[in-house]
Amino acid sequence: MEFKFSNNSYWTAIRNLRMSMFVLCISVASLGMLSHLLGITGVQETPVLIISALTILDCIIFGALVYFKKMSVGSAFMWYSITAELLQMFRIGYFTLAEGEHYGQVILANMVVSYTILLYVTFGFIQKAPSIVAFLCVVSFGFALYVHPEMFNSGTIITFVLVVMLTVLVAYVSKLTLERLQREKDEMLKTQNDLLSAFHMNKDQLLAYLQLCRNSNEDNIENFFSRLDKKSEYNLIKAVEKHQIDQKAKQTNFERKFPMLSETERDICELVMKGYTINEIAQQLGKSASNVSTVRGNIRRKFGLSPEEDLQEYIKKKVI
């Protein structure tokens, strides 16, 4: 059986964030357009009322597609934001050409609504959508400015363009950050799953094993074996028994070859023969590097080695 770590929690968090922003977006849009249709807010002219009705229909369609799982929330959010922004373009275009009283303020209010859509898709981490929505938003503003250049002062124009550009930049940086975090998480999961595959263990068994390696007290031993099935427990015991036999044979061989050495010196000799450094030997035996270095010096003295002679090569010649 192959055991793997799950990446579901990461994507669940992203989906929940997107869902929250999507529901908030279509809810606010629906309530705003409904208040317009009921005559509570806005200009009560037929073309504008039709656009409000279409906006509500837009919310219902994409909300239903997500609810009935016909489209992912990311895709639905992207296409909703684009269609909603297109409807806003028609609304702003109508007010621009209608030239009614106070329509300059109405156009500015609708530009704020267009920018709000851009904010929603930016905070929802919807890829590609911020750039498209920002482009449509700027086109609407550019059209109104072209028809009525006197309608907006230079400060308003510069502020609006800068805010839109900065929002798109934030969306782009967020996209890169999200991709980098996903790559790092994928690499970490791959490493974790490779470990599980190498040890032929599930996550709980591997964690119990690592605890046992750090501290072999009775609780950790019992915890580890309680997580193993019968087959795994049998295989582990057989492997340990074989390892003990091999280690005993090696120890007997070292005792016969180097009777003048202590048990600690023989242990260090074996690791030196395998090519371990002083720091690595100290880590394996739970000793300090200075202590290992001192013991190595004692071993060289007992062997009668000169400073030019290599300890590892000497041990290999004696043992092999």
3-state secondary structure of 155: helix
Q: Record the tokens describing residue 21, joined without a space.
A: 């922003």
- Tell me the one-letter amino acid at 286: G
Q: Record the tokens describing residue 314, joined without a space.
A: 């000497």
Q: How many residues does the chain have?
A: 320
- Rounded Cα–Cα distance for residues 162 and 155 (Å): 11
Give pLDDT, residue 12.
80
DSSP summary character for residue 264:
H
Tell me the C-alpha to C-alpha distance, in Å, between residue 251 and each of 240, 242, 246, 275, 281. Answer: 16, 14, 9, 18, 17
The mean pLDDT values, 10 residues at a time, for the chain of 320 residues are 52 86 95 94 91 96 95 94 95 87 82 92 90 93 88 85 91 84 79 68 63 66 72 72 70 78 87 89 89 92 89 82
Give pLDDT, residue 195.
65
Domains and CATH numbers, the chain: 8-187 (no CATH), 234-319 (1.10.10.10)
The pTM of the full predicted model, rounded to 2 decimals, is: 0.61
Give pLDDT, residue 3.
45
Give pLDDT, residue 207.
64
Query: Would you say 104 and 144 are in contact if contact means Cβ atoms under 8 Å apart?
Result: no
